[in-house]
Amino acid sequence: MSRQTNNNKARGHTPTGSTGANPTNNDLATLFECPVCFDYALPPIMQCQSGHIVCSFCRPKLTMCPTCRGPLGNIRNLAMEKVASTVMFPCKYSSTGCAQTLLHTEKGDHEETCEFRPYCCPCPGASCKWQGNLEQVMPHLVHQHKSITTLQGEDIVFLATDINLPGAVDWVMMQSCFGHNFMLVLEKQEKYDGLQQFYAIVQLIGTRKQAENFAYRLELNGHRRRLTWEATPRSIHDGVQSAIQNSDCLVFDTNIAQLFADNGNLGINVTISMC
Ligand SMILES: [Zn+2]
Ligand SMILES: [Zn+2]
Ligand SMILES: [Zn+2]
Ligand SMILES: [Zn+2]
């Protein structure tokens, strides 16, 4: 590895040359660095009276220019904004391995889905703020979320107890099969007075690419009725919240839940298969 870098340098190439990044472009990008947070100051770009810029996130927290201590005022730098629209900026996660450079208009969208973005704790609800890389997710769950039970096998029953508990409730369990770990989530939300809705979904402790190799089936079954949902598991990198918001999962209301429940407990058959 290091030898290759040396060879590149000997030929006058920068180590990032293979990604097509233009060194002039990289130098230009550094001109947009905010002196406070070192992120890029992107349009609208505001400057102090002497021309120093600061990013729009730091700007409201400052009373004077962090570079010259002069007043900040409300001076926009249109020339910098014009230049910004032609500069290729490195992805926010370049330090953890992403080699992409993007126009600032594409940067935010890319970073949302960038494979080098850290993983968040996959437990539903926003109470756990943990972040880390994929390899650290299972150790995190084992140590910090000890109450989550794990069942082995591709065909299991996810038993949610006391589904009549009032308010918003989450049920979580893990399923281990095909050498991977899946997290099963049943979430009850109170939509508006009286209407409660259940959302059931499966997420893989893995990347989006890995998730595409699997399919899951959720089935409510009993009392001569059957309700089935089949889909690709979500990657925990995407999380389940947006899928739940879009009803891209098994959705049913309390009336349906009652049809399948026994003594307030609901069993969901979960089958995971490779495809
Ligand atoms: Zn800043
Ligand atoms: Zn200044
Ligand atoms: Zn990236
Ligand atoms: Zn957590």
For residue 144, pLDDT over 60 is answered with yes
Closest CA to 50 of 28, 72, 29: 72
The pLDDT value given to residue 15? 41
- Identify the residue with better confidence: 21 or 213: 213
Q: SS3 string of 240-253? A: CHHHHHCCCCEEEE
For residue 191, pLDDT over 90 is answered with no
Q: Does 44 sit behind a cis peptide bond, omega within 30 degrees of 0 on the bond before it?
A: yes
In this prediction, residues 124-142 reach a mean pLDDT of 92
Q: How far is the CA of 35 from the centre of ligand 1 (A)?
A: 7
192, 246 Cβ separation under 8 angstroms: no
Ligand nearest to the CA of 35: 1
Q: How far is the CA of 113 from the centre of ligand 3 (A)?
A: 8
Alpha helices in the chain (DSSP H): 2-10, 23-30, 78-84, 104-113, 134-144, 208-211, 241-245, 254-260
The pLDDT value given to residue 25? 62
Highest mean pLDDT among 6-15, 22-31, 57-66, 228-237: 228-237
In this prediction, residues 122-137 reach a mean pLDDT of 91
For residue 23, pLDDT over 60 is answered with no
Euclidean distance between CA atoms 241 and 41, whole angstroms = 30
Neighbouring residues of the ion ligand 3, judged by CB less than 5 Å: 91, 93, 98, 100, 114
Residue 256 pLDDT grade (very low, low, confident, very high; cuts 50, 70, 90): very high
Number of residues that make up the chain? 275
Residue 122 Cα distances to 51, 113, 128, 137, angstroms: 44, 16, 9, 8
pLDDT in tens, 76-87: 999 999 999 999
Neighbouring residues of the ion ligand 1, judged by CB less than 5 Å: 34, 36-37, 55, 58
Q: Is 168 helix (H, G, I), strand (E, B) or coil?
A: coil
In this prediction, residues 144-154 reach a mean pLDDT of 96
Neighbouring residues of the ion ligand 2, judged by CB less than 5 Å: 48, 50, 52, 65, 67-68, 70
For the CA atoms of the chain, what is the radius of gyration? Answer: 25
In this prediction, residues 40-54 reach a mean pLDDT of 92
